[in-house]
C-alpha cells in the first residue's frame, strides 16, 4: 500500500541541514563589499548564493556556526554509517530541484523505506488495524481541511470526537512527527495548505553532505555571526566581529526563532509586521536519539519505519537498521520532545530504551553499543526544528517573505506550501535571490506579453 502525507506516515519531516564538505571558505579578512550579502549558509542561503553567482554578481555568505548546512547536518564519524542529525528526507523527486542537483555532484539518491510498520504493544498491527488507523487519519485530515475553509483555528479543536484508541497516534503522526508541534498548537490553514510530501527519497551519504557539495563554489565566511544589519539609507551592509561588509542588497535566511530572539540587530528596526509574523511561525521541536546495536535485537528489516498505537504524544518514531546497518533512531517531537531534550542526553537515551523495551522486550539495553542525541532547541544559531504556524498565523508566511526595500527574508518559514522542508527552503532562497537581483538592476522584470492580433474574418456575402 502506498501511503502519502494525507495517509499514514504522511507528514514525516524534520527540516534540518549540513556540515562543511568542501565549501569555499573565505580566509580573513572579509571582503569590504559585495553586491549582495547573504546571512546564513543553510539550504536557503546556499540556493540564494548560487543564483546570485549565476547572474555574475558578487556575493558573500556569512555563517554564524563553524559549518555550512544549517539544519541539514550529517554525522559521518559517530557510527558505522552516516547519521543525519537534521533533515533526512527529500520529497516529490520529479519536481524537487535539490533531488535533480544531487546526482551530478556524486550523491546517491535512494527510494523511500520499503516498509512501514504499526506496533500495538508487543506485536505488529494486523492488516485490519492498520486500515482502521488509515481511515481515522483520512477523517482527521478531512476535518482539518473542512475547518480551514471557514477559519484558521487549532487543528486539535476540529478533530472528530470518535477517534477512540487512535487519537494519540493521530496527534503524533499529523502533529509532532510531521511538524514538530502538537496539533493544539497548529493552524488548520497551514496544515491544509501544505503540499503533499510523501516520504520519497533519501541520500545514502546524507543530506548534510549533499548541502556541502552544493555549496562548494559558494564563498562562505564561517564562525562569522552577523551582529547588525543596516538595511535602509546609504550605508546598507552587515556588521560582524571580523569587519563590516557593504552591500547593495541583503538576504537573511536565519530561522524564525533567531529573528525573534534579537540576536541580530537591525537598523532601522524590523517592522512590527514582520516581527509578529516570525513569532507566529515559531519553530517546533524535533530531535533524534541514535542507538547502535549489537546484531538486530528488534528483528526489523532494513530501513523500516515504525510508530506505535499510543494513548498520548509521549511516544516516538523508529527508523531501524539504517542502510542495512545496526543503527536505529528514535525520533521525539512536539511538547514532549522539547521537555525531554531539556533534560539532557542521558534522559533522552533512557526514554528510548524504556520505549523500545515496552515494544520489543527487555534485551534492548544490553544490546546497545553506542548512542548519540540531537538537541536542536539548544543550538544557538537555529533554536528549534521547523516552523509551524500558530492557529490564526498561516498568513504570516506570506508576510515574512515580503520585500522590505533592499532587505529580503528567506528560509522554509517563508514558503507557504513547502514549509518545514529542504526543498521549501531551497525554493525560498532562489526566490529571494531573484528579487534582490531585480532590486539592484541585475535582472530585468519580464516584459508583459503583447496581445496577439488576429485578422478579423470577413463575413461571406453569399453562398459558396
Whether 350 is covered by a domain: the verdict is no
Contacts (Cβ under 8 Å, ≥6 apart) of 346: none
The count of structural domains within the chain is 1
Q: Is the pLDDT of residue 282 over 50?
A: yes
Q: Average pLDDT, stretch 320-326?
A: 93
User: By mean pLDDT, which of 12-16, 20-24, 434-438 is the weakest?
Assistant: 12-16
pLDDT of residue 318 exceeding 70: yes
Mean residue pLDDT of the chain comes to: 90
Cis bond upstream, residue 268 (ω within 30): yes
Q: Is residue 342 part of a domain?
A: no
In a domain, residue 150? The reply is no
Looking at the chain, the whole-number percentage of residues with pLDDT higher than 70 is: 89
Average pLDDT over residues 163-179: 96
Residues linked to residue 330 through DSSP beta bridges, in sequence order: 289, 318
- Rounded to two decimals, the pTM is 0.90
Give the span between the Cα atoms of 434 and 52, in whole angstroms.
Answer: 8
For position 448, what pLDDT does the model report?
58
Query: pLDDT tens across 197-253, in order?
Result: 766 788 989 999 999 999 999 999 999 999 999 999 889 999 999 999 999 999 999
pLDDT at 453 over 80: no
Q: Would the pLDDT of 343 be above 90? A: yes
Q: Answer positive or negative: Cα dihedral of 397, 403, 404, 408.
A: positive
**Residue 20, pLDDT above cutoff 50:** no
On the question of pLDDT at 21 being above 80, the answer is no
The residues, any chain, with a CB within 8 Å of residue 290's CB and separated by 6 or more, are: 78, 79, 83, 327, 328, 329, 371, 372, 373
C-alpha cell read off for 118: 504499526
Banded pLDDT at 111 (limits 50, 70, 90): confident
Burial of 414 (0-12, 13-18, 19+ CB in 10 A): buried
Per mean pLDDT, which range of 32-41, 176-185, 201-210, 326-335 is the poorest? Answer: 201-210
- 196, 3 in Cβ contact below 8 A? no
The answer to whether residue 410 sits within a structural domain is yes
Triad 58, 61, 65: Cα angle to 5°: 165
Q: Is residue 421, in this structure, part of any structural domain at all?
A: yes
Spatial contact of 332 and 316, defined as CB atoms under 8 Å apart: yes
Query: How far apart, in whole angstroms, are the C-alpha atoms of residue 78 and residue 462?
Result: 88
CATH code at 422?
3.50.50.60
Q: Does residue 39 sit within a domain?
A: yes
**151 part of a folded domain:** no
Cα–Cα distance measured from residue 52 to residue 449, given in angstroms and rounded to the nearest whole number: 26
List C-alpha distances in Å: 384 to 238, 283, 311: 24, 5, 26
Which pLDDT does position 450 carry in this prediction?
58
pLDDT tens by residue, 389-447? 999 999 999 999 999 999 999 999 999 999 999 999 999 999 999 999 999 999 876 65
**Residue carrying the nine cell digits 496539533:** 183
CB-CB contact of 169 with 309 (8 Å): yes
Cα–Cα distance for residue pair 72/84, rounded to 1 Å? 7
Report residue 186's pLDDT band, with 50, 70 and 90 as the boundaries. very high
Residue 100 lies in a domain: no
- 45 vs 425: CA distance, rounded Å: 9
Q: Looking at 64-73, 84-93, 138-147, 384-393, which range is the least confident one?
A: 84-93
What is the mean predicted confidence (pLDDT) over 336-348?
A: 98
Domain range spanning residue 431? 24-75+205-283+389-439
Amino acid at each position: 500500500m502506498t501511503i502519502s502525507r494525507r495517509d499514514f506516515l504522511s507528514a514525516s519531516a524534520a527540516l534540518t541541514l549540513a556540515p562543511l564538505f568542501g565549501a569555499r571558505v573565505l580566509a580573513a579578512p572579509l571582503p569590504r563589499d559585495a553586491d549582495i550579502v547573504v546571512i546564513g549558509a543553510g539550504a536557503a542561503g546556499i540556493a540564494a548564493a548560487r543564483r546570485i553567482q549565476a547572474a555574475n554578481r558578487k556575493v558573500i555568505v556569512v555563517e554564524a556556526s563553524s559549518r555550512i548546512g544549517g539544519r541539514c547536518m550529517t554525522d559521518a564519524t559517530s557510527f558505522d554509517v552516516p547519521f543525519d542529525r537534521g533533515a533526512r528526507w527529500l520529497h516529490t523527486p520529479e519536481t524537487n530541484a535539490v533531488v535533480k542537483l544531487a546526482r551530478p555532484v556524486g550523491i546517491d539518491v535512494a527510494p523511500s523505506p520499503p516498509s512501514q510498520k504499526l506496533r500495538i504493544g508487543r506485536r505488529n498491527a494486523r492488516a485490519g488495524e492498520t486500515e482502521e488507523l488509515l481511515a481515522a487519519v483520512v477523517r482527521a485530515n478531512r476535518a482539518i481541511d473542512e475547518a480551514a475553509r471557514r477559519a484558521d483555528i487549532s487543528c486539535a479543536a476540529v478533530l472528530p470526537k470518535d477517534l477512540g484508541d487512535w487519537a494519540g497516534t493521530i496527534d503524533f503522526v499529523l502533529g509532532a512527527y510531521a511538524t514538530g508541534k502538537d496539533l493544539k498548537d497548529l493552524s488548520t490553514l497551514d496544515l491544509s495548505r501544505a503540499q503533499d510530501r510523501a516520504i520519497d527519497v533519501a541520500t545514502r551519504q546524507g543530506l548534510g553532505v549533499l548541502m556541502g557539495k552544493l555549496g562548494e563554489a559558494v564563498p562562505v565566511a564561517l564562525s562569522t555571526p552577523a551582529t547588525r544589519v543596516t538595511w535602509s539609507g546609504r550605508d546598507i551592509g552587515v556588521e560582524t566581529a571580523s569587519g563590516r561588509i557593504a552591500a547593495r542588497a541583503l538576504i537573511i535566511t536565519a530561522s524564525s526563532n533567531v529573528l525573534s530572539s534579537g540576536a541580530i540587530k537591525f537598523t532601522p528596526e524590523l517592522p512590527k509586521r514582520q516581527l509578529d509574523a516570525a513569532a507566529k511561525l515559531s519553530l517546533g521541536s524535533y530531535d533524534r536519539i541514535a542507538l547502535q546495536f549489537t546484531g538486530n535485537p528488534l528483528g526489523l528489516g532494513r530501513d523500516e519505519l515504525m510508530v506505535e498505537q499510543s494513548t498520548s504524544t509521549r511516544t516516538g518514531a523508529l527508523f531501524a537498521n539504517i542502510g542495512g546497518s545496526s543503527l536505529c533512531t528514535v525520533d521525539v517531537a512536539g511538547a514532549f520532545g522539547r521537555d525531554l531534550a531539556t533534560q539532557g542526553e542521558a534522559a533522552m537515551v533512557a526514554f528510548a530504551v524504556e520505549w523500545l523495551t515496552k515494544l520489543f522486550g527487555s534485551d534492548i539495553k544490553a544490546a546497545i553499543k553506542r548512542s548519540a542525541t540531537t538537541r536542536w532547541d539548544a543550538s544557538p544559531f537555529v533554536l528549534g526544528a521547523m516552523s509551524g504556524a500558530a492557529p490564526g498565523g498561516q498568513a504570516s508566511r506570506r508576510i515574512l517573505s515580503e520585500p522590505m526595500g533592499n532587505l529580503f527574508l528567506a528560509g522554509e518559514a517563508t514558503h507557504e506550501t513547502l514549509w518545514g522542508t529542504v526543498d521549501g527552503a531551497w525554493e525560498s532562497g532562489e526566490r529571494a535571490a531573484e528579487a534582490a537581483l531585480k532590486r539592484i538592476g541585475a535582472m530585468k522584470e519580464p516584459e508583459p506579453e503583447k496581445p496577439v492580433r488576429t485578422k478579423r474574418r470577413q463575413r461571406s456575402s453569399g453562398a459558396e
